[in-house]
């Protein structure tokens, strides 16, 4: 199965019943598959006039209680930024898939990159926090899409599936489970103000049509949902809650794999470069090499670094100029070596072996 | 029930300036809804950014006050996902015709079963009176200090060309006609576009020689011409006075529509 | 045993589909592992198109083909771009109707397009003739597996034509084997 199709199938299995999108290489297969499948499941597929509208449509659908998703790539992702901020501010659960391609601008439509990792974290204006997942196999395109919906509903934030063209277009073996985990969106309790948070900082969801009469605004709002845009204290409290509800749950949200935690030399990967590093580890059984494979990059799982207690060097191959290496470096005193790669091709195992002094 | 029962009392007073025409339009819309007998829990208001877009915040139903220009795609998501909901969009000339122009065209083309009420004050009121796509040629605003040099948009003709099923234009003076038009729009499957010309005394009237609120309302009244009369005049090759506001029902048709409840 | 197969031809020949079919045969019917990837540009037709499959008994880690041991080449431009550099130890199956050059490595000439046009009446199935020849020559997947995978992948109503094309591919290799 192709990665993009696995993503669409994962979304359908997770109960996604609304897809609003705009065609863009290399993500289009997701929209095409949803267009075929959603009507048969009484869901809605709509091709919007652009990615701004796509993002708006899924937010609208989400407020009616539907699990909603869009899929895009760099240029479309840029257009979505404004309404991603709206989803953050209004605490609207939704899933945004980005099959990353080479940028800036139109760049390399058919080639892989991971240049949008910082954009997904910081791309909309203002301070906030989001969740971003990075699949490195077709199997994970399926599994992490399911997970994205569960996290979006749990934390009421946009959740990003930050894949790349290689994983999106690759076909490989996948095992489709009979059932998938499903976390219900927590409903607002009667009598509670619509934006009054529970202990986990996440308010119950006042679905449209249930009589809550909720006003949803992108303006700074109080717990009633009413605009209150000139009260400094209120704004600070709201933004801090939006930020902390994700950041303080980073351990709960974290998802990574640790190989050889006692190694001195440790690779750190997410997305398709993980496959290059796995090949290096496979090919050099005599050498103890650590591997931290992040399936979730945001919120950044800084505690995962501590799993490698003997680490002397972290090597981070990325399909960008070191976006996550820089973030990683902030959290450790151990030397971090960034191995950037642009152009659309994956790091060859031979390149990485050479880098760590293994001769083929 | 009356239209007053639809207001969110704990949100009042509102932010509109004294003499603003928007309140009239909101009253007319709520009156139409009341006559339709819609249930509050099945009615959703959606808006973008601007003075007009603040309206949903004063209404008791579920509502989305979204980003600038994007009310229609948000409303599309709501309506396509739950066609049984009645979805009303409040917007303004800047929101709908400038930043949201493309969404307007495509919502009309899809003919989604929405009621779109545009309060056209011919200015960006909330941000202090900049020129909009409907600012008349020659009119003064903070960004057209020597008079607007750009021809203005005719939003009703645009809606017709793009495919909306129901289109009419009235003004804040014509409250009975406007209420009827909004109601008729709500009864018509597909996209209904009702444009309401409104006075903005603070940011339009003040700069354009309307000393009192009523001066501008009187101007709107006296420059309004029924569409039938206008069409007759045009046919006869008669002269249409400058700055005429053509009012009335522009179209009522049954193009295929989306999001109509079964 | 890891096999890396590179397919190249011009857009519209079914180069990507060929790779998908053989990957499917390996995974679904031979219980092996396979990864299919491709290089594609903006053209839907024409140009040099390339796709690749890795077939292995073990899970495949690095998903890209770096050193193909099998080439299936169906156009002269494809040969020049993706086949000319084939290493000596590789095997190349080439459509001798359309490819004029010959590589330094071992190669097998299969007049697939001519066969498809003259014997089967449709040159569109030339890629399936090549797939038949590939399987008969290299055994990267079993003959029953490729047959099932072809049936899964081709449009309804064309099954017979495609199976004939596959069989013709098998035969071309077997005839060659007995004559040499």
Rounded CA separation C89/A192 (Å): 73
Chains within contact range of chain B (3+ C-beta pairs < 8 Å): A
Find the residue in B nearest to A42 (Cα): B81
Q: Judge contact between C49 and C13, C-beta under 8 A.
A: yes
Residue B50 has pLDDT above 90, yes or no: yes
Q: Judge contact between A138 and A6, C-beta under 8 A.
A: yes
Shortest CB distance from B74 goes to which of A59, A66, A212? A59
Q: Which residues of B touch A219 (CB under 8 A)?
A: 65
Q: What is the DSSP string of C147-180?
A: HHHHHHHSPTT-HHHHHHHHHHHHHHHHHHHHH-
Residues B4-21: tens digit of each pLDDT:
999 999 998 999 999 999
Chains within contact range of chain C (3+ C-beta pairs < 8 Å): A
Q: Judge contact between A7 and A71, C-beta under 8 A.
A: yes
pLDDT of residue A82: 98
One domain, residues A175 and A49? yes
pLDDT of residue C42: 67
Owning domain of residue A136: 1-253
One domain, residues A133 and A272? no
One domain, residues A228 and A344? no
Interface touch C63/A278, C-beta < 8 Å: no
What are the domain boundaries of chain B? 3-252
State the ipTM, two decimals: 0.96
First to last CA, chain A: 33
pLDDT of residue B36: 97
Q: Judge contact between C2 and A279, C-beta under 8 A.
A: no
Residue A360 within any structural domain of the chain: no
The architecture that CATH gives domain B3-252 is: 3-Layer(aba) Sandwich (3.40)
How far does CA B210 lie from the centroid of its chain? Answer: 22
Find the residue in B nearest to A57 (Cα): B77
Q: Which residues of A touch C39 (CB under 8 A)?
A: 110
pLDDT of residue A360: 64
Shortest CB distance from A171 goes to which of C20, C40, C41? C20
One domain, residues A53 and A141? yes
Find the residue in C nearest to A273 (Cα): C62
| Mean pLDDT split into 10-residue runs, chain A, 360 residues | 98 98 97 98 98 98 98 98 98 98 96 97 98 98 98 98 97 96 95 96 98 98 95 97 97 97 98 98 95 98 97 98 98 98 96 89
Find the residue in A nearest to B65 (Cα): A217
Q: Which residues of A touch B40 (CB under 8 A)?
A: 211, 213
Owning domain of residue C160: 3-179
One domain, residues A242 and A324? no
Rounded CA separation A50/A54 (Å): 6
Rounded CA separation A71/A48 (Å): 12
pLDDT of residue B238: 87
Residue C179 has pLDDT above 50, yes or no: no
Nearest chain A Cα distance for residue C14, angstroms: 16
Q: Which residues of A touch B79 (CB under 8 A)?
A: 60
Best probe of the B interface among A209, A212, A218, A222, by most B CBs < 10 A, is A209
Nearest chain C Cα distance for residue A332, angstroms: 29
Shortest CB distance from A278 goes to which of C41, C61, C64? C61
Per the structure, the count of domains in chain A is 2
pLDDT interval class at C48 (50, 70, 90): confident
Interface touch B75/A60, C-beta < 8 Å: yes
One domain, residues A220 and A289? no
One domain, residues A239 and A265? no
Per the structure, the count of domains in chain C is 1
Rounded CA separation C92/C102 (Å): 9
Q: Which residues of B touch A66 (CB under 8 A)?
A: 81
| Residue with tokens 């599994």, as numbered in its chain | A143
One domain, residues A282 and A206? no
Size of interface A-B (CB pairs under 8 A): 127
Residues A29-69: tens digit of each pLDDT:
999 999 999 999 999 999 999 999 999 999 999 999 999 99
pLDDT interval class at C43 (50, 70, 90): low
**How many angstroms separate the Cα of C78 from the Cα of each of B133, C7, C47, C160?**
54, 9, 8, 29
Residue B174 has pLDDT above 60, yes or no: yes
One domain, residues A166 and A249? yes
pLDDT of residue C177: 65
Three-state SS annotation for B159-215: HHHHCCCEEEEEECCCHHHHHHHHHHHHHCCCCEEEEEECCCHHHHHCCCCCCCHHH
Q: Which residues of B touch A217 (CB under 8 A)?
A: 57, 64-65
Q: Which residues of A touch B76 (CB under 8 A)?
A: 20, 46, 48, 53, 56-57, 60
Model confidence, pTM: 0.95
Residues C79-117: tens digit of each pLDDT:
999 999 999 999 999 999 999 999 999 999 999 999 999
CATH code for the domain in which residue A282 is found = 3.40.50.920
Residue C40 has pLDDT above 80, yes or no: no
One domain, residues A14 and A28? yes
CATH code for the domain in which residue C83 is found = 3.40.920.10
């Amino acid at each position: 199965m192709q990665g993009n199709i696995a993503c669409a199938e994962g979304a359908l299995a997770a109960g996604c019943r609304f897809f609003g999108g705009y065609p863009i290489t290399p993500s289009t297969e997701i929209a095409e598959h949803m267009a075929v499948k959603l009507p048969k499941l009484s869901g809605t597929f709509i091709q919007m006039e652009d990615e701004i509208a796509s993002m708006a449509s899924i937010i609208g659908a989400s407020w009616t209680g539907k699990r909603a998703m869009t899929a895009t790539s760099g240029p479309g992702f840029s257009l979505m930024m404004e309404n991603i901020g709206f989803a953050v501010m209004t605490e609207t659960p939704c899933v945004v898939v980005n099959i990353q391609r080479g940028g800036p601008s139109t760049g390399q439509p058919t080639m892989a990159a991971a240049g949008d990792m910082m954009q997904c974290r910081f791309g909309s204006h203002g301070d906030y926090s989001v969740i971003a997942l990075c699949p490195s196999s077709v199997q994970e395109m399926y599994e992490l899409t399911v997970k994205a919906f569960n996290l979006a509903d749990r934390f009421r934030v946009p959740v990003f599936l930050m894949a790349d063209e290689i994983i999106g277009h690759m076909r490989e073996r996948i095992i489709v489970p009979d059932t998938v985990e499903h976390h219900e969106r927590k409903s607002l309790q009667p009598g509670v103000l619509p934006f009054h948070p529970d202990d986990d900082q996440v308010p119950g969801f006042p679905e449209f049509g249930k009589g809550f009469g909720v006003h949803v605004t992108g303006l700074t709002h109080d717990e009633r949902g009413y605009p209150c845009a000139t009260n400094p204290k209120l704004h600070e409290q709201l933004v801090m809650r939006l930020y902390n509800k994700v950041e303080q749950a980073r351990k709960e949200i974290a998802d990574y794999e640790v190989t050889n935690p006692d190694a001195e030399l440790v690779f750190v990967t997410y997305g398709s470069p993980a496959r290059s590093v796995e090949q290096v580890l496979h090919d050099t059984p005599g050498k103890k090499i650590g591997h931290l494979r992040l399936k979730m990059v945001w919120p950044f799982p800084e505690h995962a670094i501590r799993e490698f207690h003997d680490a002397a060097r972290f090597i981070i191959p990325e399909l960008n100029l070191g976006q996550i290496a820089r973030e990683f470096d902030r959290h450790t005193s151990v030397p971090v070596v960034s191995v950037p790669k642009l152009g659309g091709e994956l790091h060859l195992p031979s390149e990485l072996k050479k880098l760590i002094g293994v001769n083929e | 029930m009356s239209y007053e029962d639809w207001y969110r009392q704990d949100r009042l007073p509102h932010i509109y300036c004294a003499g603003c025409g928007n309140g009239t339009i909101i009253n007319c819309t709520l009156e139409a809804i009341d006559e339709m007998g819609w249930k509050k829990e099945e009615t959703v208001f959606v808006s973008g950014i601007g003075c007009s877009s603040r309206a949903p915040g004063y209404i008791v139903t579920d509502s989305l006050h979204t980003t600038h220009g994007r009310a229609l795609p948000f409303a599309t998501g709501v309506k396509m996902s739950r066609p049984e909901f009645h979805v009303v969009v409040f917007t303004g000339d800047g929101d709908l015709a400038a930043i949201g122009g493309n969404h307007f065209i495509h919502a009309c083309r899809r003919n989604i079963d929405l009621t779109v009420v545009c309060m056209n004050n011919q200015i960006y009121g909330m941000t202090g009176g900049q020129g909009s796509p409907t600012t008349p040629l020659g009119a003064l605003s903070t960004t057209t200090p020597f008079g607007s040099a750009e021809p203005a948009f005719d939003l009703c003709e645009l809606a017709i060309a793009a495919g909306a099923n129901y289109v009419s234009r009235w003004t804040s003076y014509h409250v009975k006609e406007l209420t009827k038009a909004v109601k008729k729009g709500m009864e018509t499957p597909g996209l209904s576009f009702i444009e309401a010309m409104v006075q903005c005394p603070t940011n339009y009237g003040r700069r354009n020689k309307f000393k009192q609120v009523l001066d501008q309302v009187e101007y709107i009244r006296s420059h309004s011409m029924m569409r039938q009369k206008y069409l007759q005049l045009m046919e006869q090759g008669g002269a249409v006075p400058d700055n005429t506001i053509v009012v009335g029902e522009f179209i009522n048709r049954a193009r295929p529509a989306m999001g109509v409840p079964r | 045993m890891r096999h890396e197969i590179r397919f190249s031809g011009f857009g519209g020949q079914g180069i990507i589909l060929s790779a998908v079919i053989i990957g499917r045969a390996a995974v679904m019917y031979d219980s092996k592992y396979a990864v299919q990837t491709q290089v594609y540009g903006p053209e839907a037709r024409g140009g040099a198109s390339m796709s690749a499959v890795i077939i292995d008994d073990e899970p495949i880690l690095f998903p890209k083909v770096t050193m193909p041991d099998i080439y299936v080449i169906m156009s002269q431009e494809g040969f020049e771009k993706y086949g000319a550099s084939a290493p000596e130890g590789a095997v190349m199956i080439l459509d001798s109707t359309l490819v004029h050059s010959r590589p330094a490595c071992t190669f097998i000439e299969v007049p697939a397009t001519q066969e498809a046009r003259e014997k089967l009446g449709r040159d569109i199935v030339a890629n399936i003739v090549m797939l038949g020849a590939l399987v008969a020559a290299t055994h990267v997947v079993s003959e029953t597996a490729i047959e099932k995978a072809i049936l899964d992948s081709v449009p309804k109503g064309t099954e017979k034509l495609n199976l004939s094309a596959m069989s013709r591919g098998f035969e071309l290799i077997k005839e060659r084997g007995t004559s040499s």
